[in-house]
Amino acid sequence: MVQSLLRTQLDRNGAPPTLVVSGELDVASGPALEHAVARVLDGQGEEFRLDLSALVFMDSTGARSLVRVHRRLESIGRHLVLVSPTPPVRRVIELLGLDAVIDIRE
């Protein structure tokens, strides 16, 4: 079994809650991110943040997981915000046009 190179940690020290994502987001780790988000959703609030400042790699399949998370949050009336994506991750987001769909903040 291959160990996932993705790590997540929930930061509830501020509002809204922020899931800090580190490592690599790709075909192998995308489901782990989706599961982590589903596990920490409490159904309260409007905004949910993913802090991508420690995410060093993301490919198009990882971006697809972000889209799935975005859709899931929208379906329950929440809003996804991507916080501080690293330059390589931001590049993938922009190349795929996801910055027109998902809110990105520094």
Residue 93: its pLDDT value, please?
A: 97
pLDDT tens figures, 23-36: 999 999 999 999 99
C-beta of residue 33 within 8 angstroms of C-beta of residue 65: yes
Residue 11: its pLDDT value, please?
A: 87
CA 87 from centre of chain: 15
Pair of tokens at residue 37: 């988000």
Residue 1: pLDDT band (50, 70, 90) is very low
Residue boundaries of the structural domains of the chain: 6-105
6-105 folds as Transcription Regulator spoIIAA (3.30.750)
pLDDT tens figures, 42-64: 766 789 999 999 999 999 999 99
SS3 26: coil
